[in-house]
Amino acid sequence: MRSGSTLLRLILDTHESIAIGEETGFMGALATNKAIPNWRYGRDWYGRLGWSEEEFDNRLREFYGGMFERYAARQGKIRWGDKTPMHSWHMTEMARVFPDAVFLGIVRHPGAVVFSLKKRFQYDAHEAAEYWANTNAEVLRQGSELGSSRFALVRYEDVVLCPEATLQEVVSWLGESWSPDLLRHHEVQASKGAPRRVDGKTSSRDPINPQRVDRWVEGLSAVDQEVVCAATGHLAEFLGYDPTGLSPPRDVVPENPAGYRRLLPGGALALLLQSAGGPRLEPRRKEIVAAEMSRDELVARLRQAESSLARIRARRVVRVSDAFRRAQKRLPLPDRVSLLARVRRTGSAPDARR
């Protein structure tokens, strides 16, 4: 989240051959098709009906793929894609169910992501930095296993600072021809009637803006920057970032036969990870609902839920709604009706103490 994936989606969606709509999270549904949540016998239920996993994968591909194929066909396009940050944890499974799929990852400076998560979703700095480190480590681990033909990584900073050169490498890797429309995605999206606000409240009308690259530096406190450095330092440096944000990203892509300078294919990534000083990427907990959970998994999930609930309660619209309900409960019925009318008229609730 907050890595620039929506911007990249909007750009690629302007290509005449590629359709990528707003995020769906469909792999969460696909995973629960295969492992029914919260039931002891929910895993591999289809096997009891004589279905092999390969046969079931084929049927799932027909169903979910067919939905995206219709979406693309209605726009006169032949390729479909999906952009969902949660799918960072599903890449290996997706690669098996969709054997012709390719995966394009995007990474952004950890400080920028932490700043955005704090501002947009009320994360604290430590939680946001851990999220960045865990998610990107999993993307790199799974991407390196997929190889150069199926996975590539691009940096947000390269997309916005060197858009044409970077996007030319991206579409070349995708096996598509160059389209100048990629550099004016905001105009194309407006002309085809795309919603003004899309995934993550991103504006589909905003052009590529290089000024957003380091806007976060002055927004994070010194304490928060220290937290970011401590939680992400080694991995951030591996990806070419100065965790303090005081210097521009350095090149990390090694020379390769395809001549990529800004795109890091899976094979080259694997070589970098195996080199001296490369970070060790251990498998992380998969972010899906499991059919069976151990005590530790349940505790971890409850803590995650409590943290999410705290962020939701910190949002202004929720605070106003809570204040309204508290005030309403203290009033007789006629006054409740009067209060409701006032809120509808003014758009605000009185302080609960009044």
Q: Which two tokens stand for residue 131?
A: 């999220």
The confidence score (pLDDT) of residue 196 equals 93
45 plus 133 within the same structural domain: yes
Rg for the chain (alpha carbons), in Å?
23
Residues 6+ apart with CB under 8 A from 211: none
In-domain check, residue 352: no
In-domain check, residue 281: no
In-domain check, residue 222: yes
136 plus 247 within the same structural domain: yes
257 plus 157 within the same structural domain: yes
222 plus 325 within the same structural domain: no
The confidence score (pLDDT) of residue 353 equals 46
Q: Are the C-beta atoms of residues 268 and 252 closer than 8 Å to each other?
A: no
Instruction: List the one residue out of 101, 88, 117 whose CA is nearest residue 287.
Output: 88
> If pLDDT is split at 50, 70 and 90, which confidence band does 336 have?
low
In-domain check, residue 286: no
The residue among 61 and 295 whose pLDDT is bigger is: 61
- As a whole number of angstroms, the distance between CA 79 and CA 249 comes to 32
- As a whole number of angstroms, the distance between CA 113 and CA 348 comes to 32
Number of residues in the chain: 354
Instruction: List the one residue out of 74, 9, 91 whose CA is nearest residue 287.
Output: 91
Q: Does the structure show a pLDDT above 70 at 344?
A: no
In-domain check, residue 283: no
- As a whole number of angstroms, the distance between CA 213 and CA 162 comes to 12
300 plus 162 within the same structural domain: no
Distances (CA, A) of 2 to 85, 109, 127, 231: 9, 10, 14, 17
- Using a pLDDT cut of 90, give the percent of the chain over it: 65
Q: Which of the listed residues 226, 243, 274 is the one where a domain comes to its end?
A: 274
User: Looking at residues 104-129, what average pLDDT do you find?
Assistant: 94
Q: Does the structure show a pLDDT above 50 at 30?
A: yes
100 plus 167 within the same structural domain: yes
CB atoms within 10 A of CB 124: 16
In-domain check, residue 279: no
Q: Which amino acid is at 182?
A: L
> If pLDDT is split at 50, 70 and 90, which confidence band does 11 have?
very high
Query: What are the φ and ψ backbone dihedral angles of 312, each rounded to 5 degrees?
Result: -65, -45
In-domain check, residue 175: yes
* pTM assigned to the model: 0.81
Q: Which two tokens stand for residue 171?
A: 């579409």
In-domain check, residue 284: no
Residues 6+ apart with CB under 8 A from 17: 77, 78, 79, 176
Q: Which of the listed residues 239, 274, 309 is the one where a domain comes to its end?
A: 274
The confidence score (pLDDT) of residue 144 equals 95
313 plus 167 within the same structural domain: no
Q: Which of the listed residues 223, 242, 274 is the one where a domain comes to its end?
A: 274
The confidence score (pLDDT) of residue 288 equals 42
CATH of the domain at 171: 3.40.50.300
> If pLDDT is split at 50, 70 and 90, which confidence band does 65 have?
very high
The confidence score (pLDDT) of residue 287 equals 46
Structural domain count, the chain = 2
Instruction: List the one residue out of 78, 98, 260 whose CA is nearest residue 170.
Output: 260
Name the least confident of 80-84, 91-95, 274-278, 291-295: 291-295
- As a whole number of angstroms, the distance between CA 102 and CA 146 comes to 9
Q: Does the structure show a pLDDT above 60 at 354?
A: no
Contacts 24+ apart (CB under 8 A), 339-348: 348/320
97 plus 56 within the same structural domain: yes
The confidence score (pLDDT) of residue 293 equals 57
319 plus 197 within the same structural domain: no
Show the domain range for 330.
295-346
The confidence score (pLDDT) of residue 203 equals 93
234 plus 313 within the same structural domain: no
13 plus 121 within the same structural domain: yes
Name the least confident of 123-132, 241-250, 261-270, 291-300: 291-300
317 plus 194 within the same structural domain: no
> If pLDDT is split at 50, 70 and 90, which confidence band does 343 have?
low
DSSP-H helix ranges across the chain? 5-13, 26-34, 53-73, 91-97, 110-121, 125-146, 156-161, 163-173, 185-191, 222-238, 266-274, 295-313, 316-329, 333-346
